[in-house]
């Protein structure tokens, strides 16, 4: 079957979609046809994710309890040769006795029994983390399945979406975290980071194993494979990129898979996956050249870590939970150490609690297997409760700025300077150039009433004689935001007309849109502010001389020079939380009740991040054909933390996922580079004006501190059983927990407040509450002094106020909260523990509703 899958993997996608779906099902591990049939195209069939009561194969084989270095044996063969040869990773041989094969056959047998003679199509068999499958059936068939005694849960599939040259220096890696572990040549070595994203471009030098320092080792605990297709040929994987698969069965059954854009292979046709993988684990010292300009050298956070790719998101439609769950299940089976998800659901999960959804529950099983899970917070900020990553076992990362900024400006002939963006060279600073609007440079044959002609998308519309040697003025409208017009095309127009440069002014209808710096080969600038654009246009229009008879422009007296935006500047007011970064508090359910869980967990650099770009990447037309791109979003922040987690896992191989999260959280900083409080942007429009000090609901524990996280002093640990007790403590959750985990809730439960998290969040403080935290010393023996600040409207007492703890020892910290007023506005405080060996351990405090007395009885 797997040999057949390897052959079918290179099938052309101009075949009938049903044939492709069959091939995909075989290739990706378990898709089968029932009696040669599939749900009719005109039926009301849909994809459902089905969980069974019997335990998954990881529990059959006891793999979850085995040590990482014994968990798997590599099934690939590596051909050794000269340094120029790439390692070749082959598929494992087909072993008929593998428990996954047995489970898949069991799923097929159940479906045949339930749907005797009926049409259906199984897309995936999940067998490692969960025992279940994804199947295309009608709602009536799904209901029939749900009534079977073997079935525990049936959930309708849902859609998901995607949510570095200088950041290693900004995070202090060269002199800090890397230096502690022997420098960048060993940083992350032996750790496998799995990316569930849009794939990867294996030809990019950021993922080559031909490094001059020393050969990459083979990660012995990893058993993943590399799909071989026409788009992803043999030899694409190596000792750096150790695994690559793709998952698209759910999308294919819907008829929305676009083979031209999406690629039926791990190849990245979007760019997003290549970008995120290189942020976390791209090779060190890769030159960043964009638009023929040099922007330094790039490095991932853990440049010697290995990369495994599980493509489940696509350019044309995003992705679906059934494919993502399959990717998570495979990544865990392969033996990854860390999973990075720069994706979020398109809607808040329905039901008893947001935590109960197929993706989060699959990730809970991954955490049980010892895998640290990082997820982007989402780009839906800055509104409260906009967070799109919910569960306490997932480490949620928001986006912040870093201190490097690229600024550009244009100096007008009246000595007014207007700031703008654009990674562009400047004009000759000893000269000024005449400004000519595209509207005033039209050919006689061009219709002046064409409302889009001012966007400069076609040189044929303009008089070259009028434009030549001058600065061409073009409008930037909503069409650029939608991708209908592009900067690149306007630059080509300016170049064809021999313009000295190009100036874009912002259409007044484009409100609240923040531009990333855009690469330009010509001198150029984009004026992003509508108000500044009005000032610019007023100066230009006031300088025009027109023919009294024809009203044509005789002369333009407006001149300007462009400063250029290639050279970076550095700011002390960094980091700050970006306006788009999703915010807490964490919604517990669809009624927006608040959970006693802090989200996000932390913030990391996510704005204007240089990283690798796919040669086929079309996510940003401005970087089409480039090997690097500058992108922004929580998607860029999450892999920063995934890479830093690899460094922690390398130093502390026995750390649990919760321990890694604690090390990152308790050492995070709440101060910017200038020593002031980290600020959070509060609005889309004019975000740098609408900002105030960040709270834990903006930044979690704070901004990641890579060096301190490798020496945290004390950690707060939690286990899978703790998370299960938390889920069981949610009102009405017992049956849902049983459905998802096949485990019954016992008498012991925990509230979110009582989980041993490196934060304390109380959604409703009814007069008083006593909370405990267990601290474990992972350093040498040390004495600590405890200090704290109380949230407004509450008093706090912490005991003990001093303690000494030996290496490997644990102690309990007791925190007593008392409401001092009735108040429903969130307020915040902090507990700080200061060790005599220099360790500082912080725990943020958040209290939302405070009730000091019962108003009814009073």
Supply the residues annotated as catalytic. 197, 272, 635
Cβ-contact 699, 600 below 8 angstroms: yes
Which residues neighbour 167 within 8 Å (Cβ) at sequence distance 6 or greater? 279, 301, 402, 605, 609, 640
Cα(288)–Cα(770) distance, integer angstroms: 53
Of 824, 815, 764, 770, whose CA–CA distance to 792 is shortest? 824
Cα(368)–Cα(100) distance, integer angstroms: 19
C-alpha distances out from residue 457 to 312, 453, 464, 471, 678, Å: 34, 7, 14, 16, 42
17 CB burial (10 A radius; 0-12, 13-18, 19+) = middle
Cβ-contact 133, 326 below 8 angstroms: no
Q: Work out whether the CA dihedral 657, 659, 660, 666 comes out positive or negative.
A: positive
Q: Specify the 3-state DSSP secondary structure of 334.
A: helix
Q: What are the helix and strand counts (H, E) for the chain?
A: 23, 43
Q: Interior CA angle at 118 toward 116 and 124, to 5°?
A: 95
C-alpha distances out from residue 59 to 99, 467, 702, 784, Å: 10, 71, 37, 41
Cβ-contact 763, 848 below 8 angstroms: yes
Q: Work out whether the CA dihedral 805, 810, 811, 812 comes out positive or negative.
A: positive
Cβ-contact 666, 712 below 8 angstroms: yes
Lookup: tokens for 686? 């004019």
Cα(154)–Cα(358) distance, integer angstroms: 10
What secondary structure letter does DSSP report for 823? B
- List helix spans (H) across 574-705: 634-651, 657-666, 696-699
Cα within 13 Å of Cα(659), Cβ side: 20
Q: Specify the 3-state DSSP secondary structure of 836.
A: coil
Which residues neighbour 382 within 8 Å (Cβ) at sequence distance 6 or greater? 579, 580, 581, 583, 680, 681, 682, 683, 684, 698
Cβ-contact 717, 705 below 8 angstroms: no
What secondary structure letter does DSSP report for 642? H
Phi-psi region of 339 (alpha: psi -120 to 50; beta: other; left: phi over 0): beta
Of 256, 178, 188, 190, whose CA–CA distance to 218 is shortest? 190
What element of type H or E holds 359?
helix 358-368
Lookup: tokens for 607? 């704005």
What are phi and psi for residue 170, nearest 5 degrees? -65, -35
Cα(492)–Cα(460) distance, integer angstroms: 11
What element of type H or E holds 396?
strand 395-400
Cα within 13 Å of Cα(408), Cβ side: 29
Cα within 13 Å of Cα(145), Cβ side: 34
Cβ-contact 668, 703 below 8 angstroms: yes
Strand partners, 828: 846
Cα(735)–Cα(750) distance, integer angstroms: 17
What secondary structure letter does DSSP report for 64? G
Strand partners, 135: 48, 122
For 164-177, give one letter per residue: b (16+ CB within 10 A) or e.
bbbbbbbbebeebb
């Amino acid at each position: 079957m797997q040999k057949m899958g390897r052959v079918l993997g290179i099938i052309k996608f101009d075949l009938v979609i049903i044939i492709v779906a069959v091939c995909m099902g075989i290739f990706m591990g378990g898709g089968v046809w029932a009696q040669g049939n599939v749900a009719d195209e005109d039926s009301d069939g849909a994809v459902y994710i089905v969980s069974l009561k019997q335990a998954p194969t990881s529990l059959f084989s006891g793999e979850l309890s085995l040590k990482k270095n014994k968990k798997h044996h590599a099934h690939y063969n590596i051909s050794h040769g000269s340094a120029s040869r790439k390692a070749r990773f082959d598929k494992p041989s087909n072993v008929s006795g593998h428990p996954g094969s047995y489970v898949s056959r069991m799923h097929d047998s159940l479906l045949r029994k339930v749907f005797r003679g009926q049409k259906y199509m199984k897309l995936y068999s999940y067998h490692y983390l969960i025992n279940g499958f994804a199947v295309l059936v009608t709602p009536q068939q799904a209901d029939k399945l749900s009534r079977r005694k073997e079935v525990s849960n049936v959930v309708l599939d849902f859609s998901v979406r995607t949510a570095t040259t200088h950041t290693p220096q900004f995070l202090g890696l060269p002199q800090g975290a890397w230096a502690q572990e022997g420098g960048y040549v060993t940083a992350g070595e032996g750790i496998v980071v799995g990316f569930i994203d849009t794939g990867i471009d294996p030809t990019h030098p950021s993922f080559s194993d031909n490094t001059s320092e020393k050969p990459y080792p083979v990660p012995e605990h990893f058993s993943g494979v590399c799909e071989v297709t026409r788009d992803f040929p043999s030899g694409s994987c190596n000792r750096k990129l150790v695994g690559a698969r793709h998952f698209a069965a759910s999308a294919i059954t819907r008829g929305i898979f676009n083979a031209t854009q999406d690629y039926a292979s791990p190849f990245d046709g979007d760019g997003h996956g290549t970008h995120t993988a290189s942020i976390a684990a791209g090779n060190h010292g890769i030159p960043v050249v964009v638009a023929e300009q040099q922007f330094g050298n790039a490095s991932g956070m853990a440049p010697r870590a290995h990369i495994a790719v599980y493509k489940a998101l696509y350019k044309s439609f995003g992705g679906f939970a059934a494919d993502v769950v399959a990717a998570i299940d495979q990544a865990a089976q392969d033996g990854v150490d860390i999973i990075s998800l720069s994706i979020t659901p398109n809607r808040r999960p329905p039901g008893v609690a947001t935590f109960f959804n197929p993706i989060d529950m699959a990730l809970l099983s991954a955490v049980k297997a010892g895998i640290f899970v990082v997820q982007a917070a989402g780009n839906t900020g800055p509104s409260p409760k906009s967070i799109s990553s919910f569960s306490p076992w997932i480490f949620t990362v928001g986006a912040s700025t870093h201190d490097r900024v690229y600024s550009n400006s244009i100096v007008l002939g009246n000595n007014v300077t207007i700031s703008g963006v654009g990674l562009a060279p400047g004009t000759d600073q000893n000269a000024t150039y005449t400004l000519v609007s595209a509207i005033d440079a039209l050919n006689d044959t061009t219709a002046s009433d064409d409302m889009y002609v001012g966007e400069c998308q076609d040189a044929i519309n303009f008089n070259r004689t009028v434009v030549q040697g001058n600065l061409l003025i073009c409008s930037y409208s909503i069409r650029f935001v939608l991708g209908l017009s592009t900067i690149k095309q306007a630059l080509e127009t300016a170049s064809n007309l021999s313009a000295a440069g190009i100036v874009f002014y912002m259409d007044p209808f484009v409100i609240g849109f923040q531009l990333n710096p855009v690469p330009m080969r010509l001198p150029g600038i984009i004026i992003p502010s509508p108000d500044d654009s009005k000032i610019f246009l007023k100066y230009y229009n006031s300088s025009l001389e027109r023919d009294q008879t024809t009203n044509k422009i005789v002369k333009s007296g407006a001149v300007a020079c462009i400063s250029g935006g290639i050279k970076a500047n550095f700011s002390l007011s960094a980091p700050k939380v970006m306006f788009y970064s999703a915010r807490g508090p964490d919604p517990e359910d669809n009624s927006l009740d608040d959970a006693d869980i802090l989200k996000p967990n932390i913030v990391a650099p996510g704005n204007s991040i240089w990283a690798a770009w796919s040669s086929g990447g079309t996510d940003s037309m401005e970087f089409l054909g480039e090997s690097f791109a500058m992108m922004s979003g929580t998607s860029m922040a999450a892999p920063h933390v995934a890479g830093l987690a690899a460094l922690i896992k390398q130093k502390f191989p026995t750390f649990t996922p919760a321990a890694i999260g604690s090390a990152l959280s308790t050492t995070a900083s709440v101060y910017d580079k200038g020593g002031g409080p980290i600020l959070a942007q509060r609005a889309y429009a004019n975000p740098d004006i609408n900002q105030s000090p960040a709270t834990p609901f903006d930044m979690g524990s704070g901004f990641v501190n890579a060096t301190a996280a490798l020496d945290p002093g004390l950690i707060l640990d939690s286990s899978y059983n703790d998370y299960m007790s938390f889920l069981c403590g949610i009102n009405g959750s017992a049956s849902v927990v049983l459905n998802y985990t096949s485990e019954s809730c016992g008498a012991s439960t925990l509230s979110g407040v009582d989980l041993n998290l490196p934060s304390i969040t109380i959604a409703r403080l009814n007069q008083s509450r006593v909370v405990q935290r267990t601290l474990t010393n992972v350093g040498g023996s040390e004495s600590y002094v405890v200090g704290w600040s109380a949230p407004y409207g509450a008093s706090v007492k912490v005991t003990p106020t001093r303690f000494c703890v030996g290496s490997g020892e644990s102690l309990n910290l007791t925190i007593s909260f008392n409401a001092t007023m009735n108040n429903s506005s969130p307020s915040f405080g902090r507990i700080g523990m200061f060790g005599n060996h220099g360790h500082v351990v912080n725990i943020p405090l958040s209290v939302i509703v405070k009730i000091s007395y019962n108003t009814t009885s009073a």
